[in-house]
Structure 1
Amino acid sequence: MNNNNRSRMVKSIMNLAHRKAEMKEHYEASLAMNVGDHAWLSTLYFSGAYEEEPDWAIGPFVKEERMTFQLGRQWRDPYDFGWKSGFLFNPSLIERDGKLYMFYRAAPKKEATGSRIGLAVYEEGAGWSDCGHNPIIYPTVDNELLGCEDPKVYEADGKYYMFYNGVWPVSEEQAASVRESMGYEVQVGCDINMAVSDDLLHWEKRGIVVPHDVSQYWAKGAVIPRDPGGRAVRIDGRYMMFLSEGCGGRQHVGFSEDMLNWHFEPQTYLDTSAYGKLYELACVSADRSPGDERLVMDFYYRDGDGRNAAGQALYARREPFRQLSLNKGGTLAWGGLIQYRGRWLFAQGWDAANGDNEMYFYSAVVR
């Protein structure tokens, strides 16, 4: 081995050791985190009953007890410092060859940093099987140092695309930009990162999606309209990505021809002022029927009494920025909705206790 190769190898080993030490430090800090009142979230509080049920709304939902998933083991830790999962939430579901694939966030505790992403597969009659090589996505680069969170999975043109949040510690200068963007103090940055797969099992990371000059070091939630089968839907020949949090405090929309390369523009598309202050867009559902051109946006907001709430908004696909109607009640299905066995379906782990490592499923009639 020549001196240049030896030098590169030594540097790589030192970088890995430094990253491992940093992640261990942040993991231990995440176990001690007090995440506050915003961690109180109960799925059926948002989705179990709607004041009104217009024909375009998706829901209300009921719990499907038979589909509950429990992670009965701890994953391997690629960095071998003792990382353990204590809470599962914010999954994305997609069906392939009659099997239900669930990509889920595993965190040391509810709403804490230090997350990794795993996969479990459900087959009727056999139940759940957790993927043996989990985690399938975990921190490997600097903008994931504090975790990989909240996967959103889409099928497009024969491939699968996962968009997930990479969380990382910000500098003082970056923190000022994030604070201005978010309107309150934030000690971390959040990037939307991408990974691509041919088979849902093996994933290749492709890096950051929203550049920092757009995100201002905080962009969260790559919401792309998708049909009930989990396929990304083109609108006017292009894929669209709706961003609702960060980005200098302005709503943005991304445009892409291929799901890989995106450009973003400021674009207001959702006005929740009649209900309260918008927190975040959760998902956009597009009906698969040829004659049905509806889009339904599912969103999270704070009402006039200071309570967390969910709502849905109706659009025509040909005019995705013109809001037609609002309705109170929604899923907050961050990973999107699918239709499975003839019913709408999503999953969430909010109602589990820390340490239970459980995920619950909710279904609704398809109108």
Structure 2
Amino acid sequence: MNPKSSCRLYRAGSAVFLCLLAAFGDAAAQQVRLPFLNLQPYEGNPILRPRGTTWEAAAACNPAAVVKDTTVYLFFQAKDRSGAGRWNGTSRIGLATSVDGLHFVREPEPVITPTYDFESPGGCADPAVAEIDGVYYLTYNAFDGVHRRVALASARDLRQWIKHGLLFPEEGETSHGAIVPQKSNGRYLMYFSDGKNLRLAYSENLLVWHAEAEPVMLPRDGKFDDYAVAPAFSPLVSGSELVLFYNGLDQARRSHPGQAVFALQHPGQVLQRSERPYLSLAARPEDEPVIMLSGLVRFKEEYFLYYGMNEETAGVAVSPELAAAIRAQK
């Protein structure tokens, strides 16, 4: 199956889901095949980089992405230069917008800043955004300088965010919450990392979450993800399956992108999983930057996959056809 020719977006309520159109019969009967989406790095990368001497001086990376009307909104992790050698900078979440998905205008001030003890001194990092029934839910990693833990904020206008605190205060290390924008068995789902493994949480109202104790996906010996795994952004819903883009750490703590397919009605069941990294940015492994997938949108009939590079800048991957069209315009 060619995802570029057989995918489309549709709206159910206010949430956007992915529908894979089967060549024959019902779409739900068509299985997703990995790797999913053929994308390549945009030649104009990086699309975001550090700037100035204050809140975004050290990093502008790991952007979450969402489309509203005719605009792409990126919520990126910005980092200052405080705390070198200790917590290595305080993170805040900035906002950048674009009308083409490639060139962005950044807001002068962050939209989410650390205000609680559990967010300081490390700050608010690694955002992920899901839109459900006209409300945007943004998860982020709250870092007190020792532990990272998943926190939640919500908004209707993408600028005025209301914080809802830590989602799993009883847990130790948690990170990278990725909300599924469709119910499974009458409840909302979230995949998250406990620092090593992928786990599941459930919610009735999207504000109060209950974590399952048992992991649903583990690191694999001898693979690119043999140290830890964490979701990158909200899974895509494809018929009866969920396509999860994730980031896997190797023993050297380098991040590599992967993909996994889960059953929507049995979200702890892994149906497929990448055998090798999904995206490469360099011809030689020794030249490969640290890649952290962080956002995916379908905009103007094209997919845009956003990611952080070396925990400092941000890039985007696009289809070969769009890349060729961009080159032809130069």
TM-score normalised by structure 2 residue count: 0.71
- Root-mean-square deviation (CA, aligned residues, Å) is 3.3
Match of 2:20 in 1: none
Amino acid corresponding to residue 89 of structure 2 in structure 1: T
Match of 1:9 in 2: none
Cα pair 2:49 2:59 within 8 Å, conserved: no
Match of 1:223 in 2: 178
Match of 2:182 in 1: 233
Q: Deviations over 1:29-61 (max 9, x none)?
A: xxxxxxxxxxxxxxxxxxxxxxxxx83422443
Determine which structure has the larger strand proportion and give its number: 2
Residue 320 of structure 1 is aligned with which of 254, 267, 271?
267
1:279, distance to aligned residue in structure 2 (A): 1.1
1:348–1:273 distance in 2 versus 1, CA, 3 Å: closer
Q: Deviations over 1:189-240 (max 9, x none)?
A: 22211111111011111211112x2x22x21110223xxxxxx222222111
Amino acid corresponding to residue 129 of structure 1 in structure 2: V
Residue 208 of structure 1 is aligned with which of 166, 172, 191?
166
Cα pair 2:293 2:306 within 8 Å, conserved: no
C-alpha distance in structure 2 between counterparts of 1:148 and 1:304, whole Å? 26
Could you list the structure 1 runs, at least 4 aligned residues long, displaced by more than 6 angstroms after superposition.
304-307
Match of 1:262 in 2: 209
2:168 match: secondary structure: coil
C-alpha distance in structure 1 between counterparts of 2:98 and 2:254, whole Å? 35
Matched, 1:62 2:40: yes
Cα pair 2:141 2:175 within 8 Å, conserved: yes
Match of 1:115 in 2: 91
1:307–1:168 distance in 2 versus 1, CA, 3 Å: closer
Match of 1:242 in 2: 191
- Tell me the percent identity: 26
2:118 match: secondary structure: helix
C-alpha distance in structure 2 between counterparts of 1:117 and 1:64, whole Å? 23
1:119, distance to aligned residue in structure 2 (A): 0.1
C-alpha distance in structure 1 between counterparts of 2:264 and 2:105, whole Å? 37
Amino acid corresponding to residue 359 of structure 1 in structure 2: A
Determine which structure has the larger helix proportion and give its number: 1
What are the equivalent positions in structure 2 for 1:166-315 lying under 5 Å apart? 166-169=142-145, 188-211=146-169, 213=170, 215-216=171-172, 218-225=173-180, 232-246=181-195, 251-273=198-220, 275=223, 277-283=226-232, 286-287=235-236, 292-302=239-249, 309-315=256-262
C-alpha distance in structure 2 between counterparts of 1:361 and 1:58, whole Å? 16
Matched, 1:330 2:305: no
Structure 2: segments with no counterpart, 5+ residues: 1-31, 280-290, 322-330
1:335 match: secondary structure: strand
User: Quick check: which has more Rg, 1 or 2?
Assistant: 1
Size of the alignment, in residue pairs? 271
Cα pair 1:150 1:334 within 8 Å, conserved: no
